[in-house]
Chains A and B, each alone.
Chain A
Amino acid sequence: MSLDLSSVEAKMGRAADHLNALKDQVGSWRKRDVYALVSHVNPQNTVFSFTLNILNEPPLQDWSLIIGDCISNLRCALDHLIYAIAVHESNTSPPPNEDALMFPICDGPTAFGKKGVQDRIKTLSLPVRTAIEASRTSDRIHRFRPFFPSCGISTTPISISCSAWLLPQSDRGSSTYRLIRFLVPNEIFIPASDMPK
């Protein structure tokens, strides 16, 4: 029996759908007049400033939920992978140790060997467990430069680990119940004519 990854691919596809939906929503929002700047000058003509006037509030809570769904599907894809392998190797469905099966994502290089982590994959074959350990995301560092590409501000790649994003809810502590935090976007040009006279 070949390894059936159909549900894994379905989860990955759903994650992509969420990302595309978010891009569409953000794109639609950005096409509107979302912000204006209000200019200010003090009576002495020494301090000039601009404050933000929000014309269309970004639906941050909706976007936060979409992103949560996207990440959740990515996480589920890994769990579906483990389940599919367990079914394949045991040739039974449901597989042994069904309730404990989970892709172990460890928030640190030493955590993988802990019993609670190993119990998640103890019924899988040694080559699979070895591959999981070799590919575990906690040790993989990603370098990219997503910041302000149009301005060239970010010339130094940043490094992050994606492990924290994909940890199972039980391992995330209080952050489980927080909406994903956003910073706010847009691009505003202030022509010289708009400066206070």
Chain B
Amino acid sequence: MKQDTEVFSVTCDRPTPDMNCKVRIDFMIALWHGKRDASTPPWGDRTEFSPLLRMLGDEVAFVIDTVASSVS
């Protein structure tokens, strides 16, 4: 996101001077990684950094354990 990015808008079909609404917007620190396949949801090509890196670490640890246990 960049300075002055529009993040939210509401368009009414008639003048609404007393417009009053409550909005909550979530942002996240995410890493882009591409989709696994076409069935992945539109936002599925990015993941919050912490679980993604933790998952990678778990994966590597799993591989290390598996391969090391094969050594006689």
Contact = CB atoms under 8 A, between A and B. Distances in A.
A97 interface: no
Interface string B12-23: 111111111111
B64 A132 contact: no
Residue with the highest number of chain A CB atoms closer than 10 Å, among B1, B25, B63, B72: B63
Counting chain B residues whose Cβ lies within 8 A of the other chain, the interface size class is 35 or more
B64 to A, nearest CB: 5
Interface in B44-71: 44, 46-57, 59-64, 66-71
Given A46-B13, A48-B9, A74-B57, A195 B3 contact: no
B51 A78 contact: no
Contact of A49 (B1, B8, B36, B55): B8
Residue with the highest number of chain A CB atoms closer than 10 Å, among B14, B18, B30, B60: B60
Contact of B68 (A3, A49, A134, A156): A3
A70 B36 contact: no
Contacts of A196: 19
B61 A81 contact: no
Contacts of A172: none
Contacts of B57: 12, 15-16, 19, 74
Nearest to A44: B15
B71 A146 contact: no
A94 B33 CA distance: 36
A49 B9 contact: yes
B66 A131 contact: yes
B8 to A, nearest CB: 5
Contacts of B37: 159
A70 B53 contact: yes
Contacts of A85: 67-68, 71
B51 A146 contact: yes
Contact of B63 (A15, A78, A130): A78
Contacts of A52: 1-7
A60 B72 CA distance: 45
The 6 lowest CB-CB distance pairs between A and B, nearest first, are A131-B70, A49-B9, A185-B29, A146-B51, A183-B30, A135-B66
